[in-house]
Amino acid sequence: MSQHSSSKQITNQDLLAMKARGEKITSLTAYDASFAHILDHAGIEMVLVGDSLGMVVQGQTSTVPVTVDEMVYHSRLVSRGLKRALLVTDLPFMSYPNPDLAVQNAGILMQQGHAHMVKLEGGQKILDSVHHIVNQGIPVCGHLGLLPQSVNQLGGYRVQGKDEAQASSLINDAISLEQAGASAIVVECIPATLAKKITDSVAIPIIGIGAGVQCDGQVLVSYDMLDITLGKRPKFSKNFIQDAGNISDAVKAYVNAVKQQQFPAAEHSF
């Protein structure tokens, strides 16, 4: 169990310190107070209110239809179930087309959704927005690799960064996001070797999902790791409730597996 299992509120500075000393960061999604309470109690450091709620809660075919108001609603619910975990909330599709709107909507997620940090997808084209948000005192988490909000442009849910040019571009994006003031970055569906290079290239925590075991931490959609997802569970996820018997024990097993570097294993990586 992490030394943060006390009730002290975890900050982005704590996550930086965890990276520096090589302690793995654990993260899962939550969309309501009850789930949030279970994750918080089990020792999760970072709870993500993901726009994945569009698919796993609302039954949409992508994250694109999710609105800022819906993110605020779910973020506020989750905040009521947390005492110590850092609450990160997604800025949804088209809520940050320019720096001014990005700042405005990030502010709404902080004020009304009680988020501690906001997450937005992309590299070079969002750097101005990241810079503006950070300048307002709002911590930012980046998101590189597979970008669910851009799935129509990417041509589906595919592994990113497989060729050298793409890989190099993603490393540069991570460095640029750090320079723009990002506090952490999620990398999704990229080769494990590339994820390690990105992790080694920046001082801020790299949180992987389908990105191998050598990231600074791991995140999964909680519904996937509890095997209650509509449709097919992604290759990079693992069913943790199978051997656990209840949700709380499944989350504790996940925390332990990430801390011990037993998850993700080779079969969950690209």
User: CB of 215 within 8 A of CB of 207?
Assistant: yes
In angstroms, rounded to a whole number, what is the distance separating the alpha carbons of residues 220 and 110?
23
CA–CA gap between residue 12 and residue 64 (Å, rounded): 28
CA nearest neighbour of 44 among 240, 248, 265: 248
Give whole-number Cα distances, 195 to 39, 71, 123, 191, in Å: 26, 28, 15, 6
Measured distance CA(195)–CA(57) in Å, rounded: 29
Q: Which residues contact 167 (CB under 8 A, 6 or more apart)?
A: 161, 191, 194, 197
3-class secondary structure, 254:
helix
Collapsed DSSP state (helix, strand, coil) of residue 207: strand
188 catalytically annotated: yes
Determine which one of 70, 164, 188, 267 is catalytic: 188
Task: Give the active site residues.
Answer: 188
